[in-house]
Chains A and B, each alone.
Chain A
Amino acid sequence: MLNQKSKYLQIAFNRSFDEVRDMIAMLPASEKIIIEAGTPLIKNYGNKGITALKNWWSEKIQRPGYIVADLKCMDRGSREIEAVAEAGASAATCLGLAPIETINEFIKECEKTGIDSMVDMMNIEFPFEILQKLRKLPTIVVLHRGVDENERNKEKQIPYDQIHRIKGTYGKVLISVAGGETPRDVIRTFFNDSDISVIWRSFYETPENTANLAREFLKLVK
Chain B
Amino acid sequence: MQIQKNRNKFNPIGLIIFTFFIAFAINPILGVIFIIAIVFFLKKNPKYLTSYFSDYLRRTTKLRSDLAESNLSIIDLNIQKILAKNEQPTLEKMALIKSAIPAKISNSLFSQIRLEKRKKYLHIALNNTLEEAREIISQLPTSDRILIEAGTPLIKIYGTDAVSQIKEMAPAGTYIVADNKCADLAAREVEMMANAGANASTCLGVAPIETIDSFIEECQKFNIDSMIDMMNVESALSVLKKIKKLPDVVILHRGVDESEFSKEKQIPYYQIKQIKGNYDVLVAVAGGDTNKEVQRAIFNDADIVVVWKNFYQSNTETAQLAESFLKEIK
**Chain A residues engaging chain B, CB cutoff 8 angstroms:** 14, 39-40, 42-49, 71-72, 74-77, 79-80, 83-84, 95, 97-99, 101-102, 104-105, 122-123, 146-149, 151-153
Contacts and interface: CB of A to CB of B under 8 A. Distances in A.
B199 interface: no
A49 B159 CA distance: 9
Interface string B243-277: 00000000000011110111000000000000000
Given A40-B192, A123-B206, A74 B256 contact: no
B295 to A, nearest CB: 24
B184 A148 contact: yes
Interface stretch (B2-10, B67-75, B207-215, B321-329): B207-215
Contact of A39 (B157, B183, B214, B255): B183
A186 B159 CA distance: 31
Interface stretch (B27-35, B105-113, B148-156): B148-156
Contact of A46 (B159, B185, B207, B260): B159
Contact of B185 (A39, A95, A152): A39
A58 to B, nearest CB: 21
A19 to B, nearest CB: 14
B261 A45 contact: no
Contacts of A77: 257
Contact of A99 (B158, B213, B232): B232
Contact of B231 (A71, A79, A99): A99
Given A122-B208, A146-B208, A152-B213, A43 B180 contact: yes
B257 A75 contact: yes
Contacts of A80: 152-153, 156
Q: Which of B231, B256, B257 has the most chain A CB atoms inside 10 A of its CB? A: B257
A83 B255 contact: no
Report the interface size class on chain B: 35 or more
A42 B189 CA distance: 11
B186 interface: yes
Contacts, number: 127
Contacts of A84: 156
Given A75-B231, A148-B185, A149-B210, A46 B158 contact: yes
A104 B127 CA distance: 21
Given A75-B255, A147-B184, A148-B186, A43 B159 contact: yes
Contacts of A102: 255, 257-258
Contacts of B258: 75, 99, 101-102
Nearest to A86: B157
Nearest to B184: A146
A5 to B, nearest CB: 31
Best-buried of A45, A48, A84, A123 by chain B (most CB within 10 Å):
A123
Given A98-B231, A99-B257, 9 more contacts: A44-B192, A72-B184, A75-B255, A80-B152, A101-B260, A122-B183, A123-B208, A149-B208, A152-B210
A101 B206 contact: no
Contacts of A153: 210
Nearest to A106: B257
B156 A83 contact: yes
A122 B186 CA distance: 14
Nearest to B128: A79
Contacts of A123: 206-208
B223 interface: no
Contacts of B188: 14, 40
B192 to A, nearest CB: 6
A46 B152 contact: no
A148 B153 contact: no
Given A97-B232, A102-B255, A148 B159 contact: no
Given A80-B156, A102-B255, A97 B206 contact: yes
B185 to A, nearest CB: 5
B189 A101 contact: no
A49 B232 CA distance: 29
Given A46-B157, A46-B162, A146-B208, A76 B257 contact: yes
Interface string B179-205: 011011110110010000000000010
A49 B155 CA distance: 12
Nearest to B259: A101
B183 A72 contact: yes
Contacts of A14: 185, 188
A70 B262 CA distance: 27
A104 B260 CA distance: 12
B210 A148 contact: yes
Nearest 3 A/B pairs, CB to CB: A46-B159, A97-B206, A75-B255
B161 interface: yes
A49 B213 CA distance: 28
B159 A105 contact: no
B318 interface: no
Contacts of B210: 146, 148-149, 151-153
Nearest to A40: B188
